[in-house]
């Protein structure tokens, strides 16, 4: 019985810890870490309420929007992007909420081409921060990795000079010629603690 009680205690502690990490204040603190330091304080922050619904956690006063980590998924990921990308990002969240997954890109690209969805007229940045978890006590993401994406709708290799081959040393272009064309900046991942790099 003692063993069973102890396991129950551990399970409840884990749930409580997860809930504590998902308070609005902690969601905001974690979400803005994806942005450059000088853009964090005034950024708008979007996260999740207790029911799993996407909500605005904090209004913003600059041109940066940060989307917090989804508590339903394993690991940690936050994204901060220029406000001009919000129609595209919001539509993606809407489709995901409707259960659409694999063809979300194609749906949005078609809607952009049909004039139903607006994309930025100039290059716009998306910062992504991933890791194993966010530690609210330290305010840091464990095993953090950062990458950047510059959306340049309909850009191609010919218009940018960029390769379509993925690289950890040079920028490269993904989905060239589409409404979702973007430049990927993906530095090498840091070595894992106590193990080989990777």
Q: What is the pLDDT of residues 44-56, one digit of tens each?
A: 999 999 888 899 9
Q: Average the pLDDT over 49-77 and give the result.
A: 94
Q: In the chain, how many domains are there? A: 1
Residue 174: closest CA among 144, 152, 145: 152
User: Which residues are CB-neighbours of 33 under 8 A, at least 6 positions away?
Assistant: 40, 78, 129, 134, 140, 141
**Is residue 17 in some structural domain?**
no
**Is residue 178 in some structural domain?**
yes
Q: Tell me what the pLDDT averaged over the chain comes to.
A: 88
| DSSP letters spanning the chain | -HHHHHHHHHHHHHHHHHHHHTSHHHHHHHHGGGS-GGGSTT-EEEEE-TTS-EEEEE--SSSEEEE---TTSSSEEEEEEEGGGHHHHHHHHHHHHTT--TTHHHHHHHHHHTTSS---SS-EEEEEEEESEEETTTTEEET-EEEEEEE-TT--HHHH---SS--SSS-EEESTTSTT-EEEE-PPPPPPTTS---
Range of the domain at 113: 24-185
Query: pTM of the full predicted structure?
Result: 0.84
Band of residue 195 on the pLDDT scale cut at 50, 70, 90: low
pLDDT(197) > 70 = no
**Is residue 190 in some structural domain?**
no
* 143-179 pLDDT, tens digit each: 999 999 999 999 999 999 999 999 999 999 999 999 9
**Is residue 5 in some structural domain?**
no
**Is residue 165 in some structural domain?**
yes
In this prediction, residue 7 carries a pLDDT of 36
């Amino acid at each position: 019985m003692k063993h069973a009680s102890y396991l129950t205690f551990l399970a409840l502690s884990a749930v409580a810890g997860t809930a504590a990490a998902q308070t609005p204040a902690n969601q905001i603190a974690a979400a803005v870490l994806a942005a450059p330091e000088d853009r964090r304080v005034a950024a708008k922050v979007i996260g999740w309420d207790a029911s799993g619904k996407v909500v605005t956690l904090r209004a913003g006063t600059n041109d940066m929007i940060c989307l917090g980590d989804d508590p339903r998924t394993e690991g940690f990921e936050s994204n901060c992007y220029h406000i001009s990308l919000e129609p595209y990002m919001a539509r993606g969240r809407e489709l995901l909420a409707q259960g659409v997954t694999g063809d979300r890109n194609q749906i949005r690209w078609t809607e952009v081409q049909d004039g139903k969805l607006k994309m930025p007229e100039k290059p716009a940045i998306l910062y992504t921060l991933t890791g194993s978890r966010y530690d609210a006590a330290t305010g840091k993401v464990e095993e953090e990795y950062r990458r950047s994406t510059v959306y340049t709708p309909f850009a191609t290799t010919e218009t940018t000079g960029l390769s379509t081959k993925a690289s950890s040393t040079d920028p490269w272009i993904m989905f060239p010629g589409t409404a979702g064309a973007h430049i990927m900046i993906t530095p090498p991942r840091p070595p894992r603690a106590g193990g080989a790099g990777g």
